[in-house]
A and B are shown apart, each in its own frame.
Chain A
Amino acid sequence: MTVSETDIPALPVEAGDPLLDLLNGFIAELRAVGIPASLTENLDAMEAVKHVPLTDRDTFKYALAATLVKNQAHWKAFETVFEVYFSLRGAQYEIAATDLEDADAADGEIAAEGDRGSAGDMLSPEELAEMLYRALMRGDAEMLRAAAREAVRRYAGMEPGRPVGGTYYLYRTLRNLDLEGVLERLMEAEQHTEGDVDDFDLRLRRDEFELRIAELKRQIEAEIRRRLVADRGVEAMAKTLRKPLPSDIDFMHASREEMASLRKAIYPLTRKLAARLVRKRRHGRAGPLDFRSTVRHSLSYGGVPVEPKFRHPRPHKPDIMVVADVSGSVAAFARFTLHLVYAISSQFSKVRSFVFIDGLDEVTSFFEGTDDIAEAVHRVNTEADVVWVDGHSDYGHALGVFWDNYADDVGPRTTVLILGDARNNYHAPESWIVKAVRQKARHVFWLNPEPRSYWDTGDSIVGEYAPHCDGVFEVRNLRQLEAFVDRLA
């Protein structure tokens, strides 16, 4: 088990080495994405790659990851950069001028797999669909990869040198493959082939197929990325293909996949935030000087105040009222904010929440007595009565309803958070309500999920409300949201 250093052929990494240059570019790109790779970590990575065989791509990848990426949330971003910088390159990945290219390795495998013509022929759409179906049915990884490669060649319509990102090609490929239909077909086959399958079995198989299809999508994405990089070079593509870290994903423009990663990211985030706030409370122990007590204790030292005494601090626990716009594009933002506020609700003495579009409804009860915040948020979306006339945002009317029904509950300990983009569809702003609420409340904060440069453009009227708030904040991603909530508690 014990071996000496000399047994292992170490890879010399020296200045001017192409590998070193590539690694430098790679690390620069990681930093550009937002992964904090420090200088020492950089050196560790250089050291680490000396010890692993470069031919083993997986081990190489993990060696880099172990030294450079110290946060699981950054993994996906790292992986994308890695794929761009260290992708397999070669003639077979180039984008062919015509799609009818010579046989490559993929075709060879396909031909060996079945009874379809000679290796040089292009598969017909039906044959490709059949191959895909069989690959998914059997869960054959090799065949799936070949199918993905073929699908990209056929459907993505990639043209050399065209400056588009991968998403467009991905969309084109997936649209042509009709994976929903394939799934239905797979399930149908499962239902009919074997006699004694019950619903439970079917459910498990469906999960299996869904995962295989997800794998296929990943393969297709990887294939497109490989071809793009082969075509336009590493530097150009690294920027285009850059994936934001979960905490940097914009609430308003998150794709479905990004939403999923946001939902996943919010759990650890709330847990950490809660832990930090508890600690903050406990450590900020010293209150103001207690003069009376200090004098009393100084008596035992002959009147010299040797031991200053401090008052027990009374940490301020605010009442929170969240008033959130849940229309269309800002709904996701409202959801995450509600989620975060309720997850740390123990830091507040009371949390009440209201949602509105043009009408307004209190949803506090949805969150009470349940420990599944995601479920409660879902109920807010489906059950709350927020539409008054047409279901287009009307801040003026919604605030009016708030004022009429709940203004009495706003007291000097209340912090009111208003969430929304203030796109009022040219209704009356009724900004006097915000002013009046502020006079009764401790603080009124407005959180806007739009970039600051869009404020007060078009029908956005943040400017009307802003003078009456204690602060208006741009909160576009989890990072900003966390920072705000941290300050609040």
Chain B
Amino acid sequence: MSHRFTDVDAVREDLSKVDYLCDPGLAGVVYLADRLDKPVLVEGPAGTGKTQLAKSVAEMTGSRLIRLQCYEGLDEAKALYEWNYKKQLLRIQTERDADVAWDDISDDIFSDEFLLARPLLEAIRAADPIVLLIDEVDRVEVETEALLLEILSEYQVSIPELGTMEALQVPLVFLTSNNTRELSEALKRRCLYLHIDYPSMEREKEIVLAKVPDIAESLADQVARVVRSIRRLELKKPPSVSETLDWARTLVLLGVQHVDAGVAAETVNILLKYQSDIAKANKELATVDGLDA
């Protein structure tokens, strides 16, 4: 079995080529996922680039991205496979007059032709390299999680009528979770765990520089600093990376060269979405004394 990456540094460099800037830890886990053929469970606050990680890995390896968006009520028919019932009926009806034995028909209508592959099955049946993204896995019920276990540990799907389908290639699997509930031990045990937190000030500045065209370095630096200071407050919803980028773009559009208290107060509603958070941030940033004072 060949591998996708040569070493950890290569992963990091390749990721930065597709504009995904990451820490060595993250690159290391992606590298291990490939080496150990294990799925990666990515957790962290909203808007820190969990989904983007899977997309970027797909882009850098030139793989096809197959995405399964989880939601409450997701079931086998939507995640794994479904029999094409209408087509099966049609088949039976066309055979009605002909003299065909029952066994032939029943074998026939439970064949590949009548199978509708859903994302999970599609991912393991594909011949080309695949990155499978199972997004927001914490939204499904605990019972539904069990659906994932077979594919995550063995890379196979068992269909009673057809038997077990094994993967033609081992896909790189990313599961993301917003941590709204505790995932089952069985699921966690099968995965490598990666927690993506808010980036450091320096990293965030690089991200702003990479993603926001025409931004001056001094402004990017200030943006990253202000966001870091805001994140230190105890807020209901600290600003995410995507909100930082929105804010930086706004500042560029407004032609702001230098963020001062006035500008920050006027535009902080882009970073923060709760009135109580906005009030708190404005109050805090207006004082010189730090949090520890």
Contacts and interface: CB of A to CB of B under 8 A. Distances in A.
A210 B232 CA distance: 11
B177 to A, nearest CB: 11
A202 B229 CA distance: 12
A49 B20 CA distance: 25
A194 interface: no
Interface in B210-246: 222, 225-226, 228-229, 232, 234, 236
Contacts of B94: none
B36 A65 contact: no
Contact of B290 (A65, A67, A206, A375): A206
A5 interface: yes
B93 interface: no
Contacts of A208: 225
Nearest to A39: B189
B229 to A, nearest CB: 4
Contact of B261 (A200, A271, A370): A200
Contacts of A456: none
Interface residues of A, number: 56
A210 B292 contact: yes
Interface string B30-62: 011001101011011000000000000000010
A389 interface: no
A204 B36 CA distance: 44
A199 B261 contact: yes
B4 A200 contact: no
B24 A58 contact: yes
B287 A203 contact: yes
Contact of B24 (A3, A59, A200, A271): A59
B195 interface: yes
Nearest to B14: A1
A51 B261 contact: no
Instruction: Name which of A2, A36, A75 has the most chain B CB atoms within 10 A of its CB.
Output: A2
A51 B35 contact: yes
A206 B32 contact: no
B72 to A, nearest CB: 10
Interface string B175-196: 0000111100100110111110
B286 A59 contact: no
A70 B260 contact: no
A7 B4 CA distance: 12
A3 B10 CA distance: 12
A276 interface: yes
Interface in A346-383: 370-372, 374-375
Given A48-B32, A51-B32, A199 B8 contact: no
A281 to B, nearest CB: 14
A44 B3 contact: no
A204 B225 contact: yes
Interface in A268-314: 268, 271-272, 275-276, 279
B2 interface: yes
Given A56-B8, A70-B193, A62 B25 contact: yes
Instruction: Name which of A3, A52, A207 has the most chain B CB atoms within 10 A of its CB.
Output: A207
B264 interface: yes
Instruction: Name which of B43, B181, B185, B280 has the most chain A CB atoms within 10 A of its CB.
Output: B181
Nearest to A50: B35
B270 to A, nearest CB: 17
Given A206-B288, A208-B225, A271-B180, A44 B36 contact: yes
A66 B194 contact: yes
A263 B2 CA distance: 46
Contact of B226 (A67, A204, A263, A272): A204
A1 B4 contact: yes
Given A52-B28, A52-B32, A66-B192, A202 B179 contact: no
A272 B182 contact: yes
Contacts of A3: 2-3, 5-6
A72 interface: yes
Contact of B2 (A4, A66, A67, A370): A4
Contacts of B259: 200
B285 interface: yes
A198 interface: yes
B35 A275 contact: no
B28 A59 contact: yes
Given A2-B3, A371-B276, A63 B261 contact: no
Interface string A394-409: 0000000000000000
B288 A275 contact: no
A370 to B, nearest CB: 8
Contacts of A53: 7
A399 B51 CA distance: 54
B209 interface: no
Contacts of B101: none
Interface in A34-78: 36, 38, 40-41, 44, 47-48, 51-53, 56, 58-59, 61-63, 65-67, 69-72, 75
A66 B232 contact: no
A200 B285 contact: yes
B98 interface: no
A144 to B, nearest CB: 15
Interface of B: 1-8, 10, 14, 24-25, 28-29, 31-32, 35-36, 38, 40-41, 43-44, 61, 141, 179-182, 185, 188-189, 191-195, 222, 225-226, 228-229, 232, 234, 236, 259-261, 264, 274, 276, 280, 285-292
15 contacts: A5-B3, A7-B6, A48-B36, A58-B28, A59-B8, A63-B29, A63-B32, A65-B25, A65-B193, A66-B29, A203-B290, A207-B228, A210-B290, A372-B276, A375-B276
Which 3 A-B residue pairings sit nearest by Cβ, starting from the closest?
A200-B261, A62-B25, A70-B188
Given A47-B36, A72-B43, A200-B285, 13 more contacts: A1-B4, A3-B5, A58-B28, A70-B189, A75-B195, A198-B260, A199-B287, A203-B285, A204-B222, A207-B229, A210-B291, A272-B181, A371-B236
